[in-house]
Amino acid sequence: MEYFDLNNGIKMPMAGIGTYLLSPDDAENAVYEALKCGYRLIDTANAYMNERAVGRGIKKSGVRREDVSLVTKIWCTEYEDGDKAIDETLARLGTDYVDLLFLHQPVGNYIEGYKAMERAYKAGKVKALGLSNFPQDRFENVLANCEIVPQVVQVETHPYYPQTELKQTLKKYGMGLMAWYPLGHGDKSLIKQDVFARLAQKYGKTNAQIILRWHTQVGNIVIPGSKNPEHIRSNADIFDFALTPEEITEIAALDKGKRYYNMAIEDEEKAFMGWKMDFNNQK
């Protein structure tokens, strides 16, 4: 495993497993399988409705809690009472701290939500702070109003949309980028690009493994999701080879500025703020 050095001195694994869209049973089993085969980074969220299951998977694995980088996110309808939301998240996960906590969406009173995360950080309930899905202007608004600079930003990132400009901004603050949709939402036109097929043959890997290795070599933390044990193992088997600088440059040429998630911020405000769920009513 390779690690990213966060701007507060914490080391975070460069590859982990995501649990988006996984049912509680699937999330518990995926986390268990991932930890048993060497993963040490787990990503979940209030809104995934599987935090309790993720906590069970960690306990069932037998891996020590302090050896796991546990990541979750509080939902935008909870920002006004973020202190309570954070305590409830910890209770659902069955832990007294998380290693990284995100604001999940850039809507609602996200400044108040971030201040709650800062309080949790100072209290030792959260080891690192992050922003998920924040556009540049709202990202900068947090920076202008925060006491503690975030450690990680989580956004859609893949070879068709490598977030080149954002990464220049993050570099100034020593912030990491965590990539969701790292394989382009499973788009076969991306995964089957000739460059990936050729490099897969050269290194004895799959196309997906080549893409995930590209992510880690350009400094991205990746969290591909799967409930298939074989895919889980394969997605972590990417650190026994290295792409050359020339190969990384060739992959960079695939940038199309293409996103798979395109909801306007105004529509997000309407949709997400109306999404009120009982996050404690989980299995």
Residue 173 pLDDT level (bands cut at 50, 70, 90): very high
In a domain, 158, yes or no: yes
In a domain, 193, yes or no: no
Asked whether the predicted pLDDT for residue 266 surpasses 90, the reply is no
Domain count, the chain: 1
- Greater confidence, 71 or 268? 71
Return the pLDDT at 41: 98
Q: Which residues participate in catalysis according to the annotation?
A: 48
In a domain, 214, yes or no: no
CATH of the domain at 138: 3.20.20.100
pLDDT, mean of residues 146-160: 98
In a domain, 125, yes or no: yes
In a domain, 191, yes or no: no
Angstrom distances, CA of residue 143 to CA of 92, 130, 252? 30, 11, 29
In a domain, 212, yes or no: no
Return the pLDDT at 263: 84
pLDDT, mean of residues 258-277: 88
pTM of the model: 0.97
Hey, what are 175's tokens? 């912030």
Give SS3 for 101: strand
Return the pLDDT at 270: 87
Residues 6+ apart with CB under 8 A from 243: 199, 210, 213, 214, 217, 251
Task: Give residue 75's domain range.
Answer: 14-186+220-237+264-273
Return the pLDDT at 275: 85
In a domain, 210, yes or no: no
In a domain, 121, yes or no: yes
Return the pLDDT at 120: 98
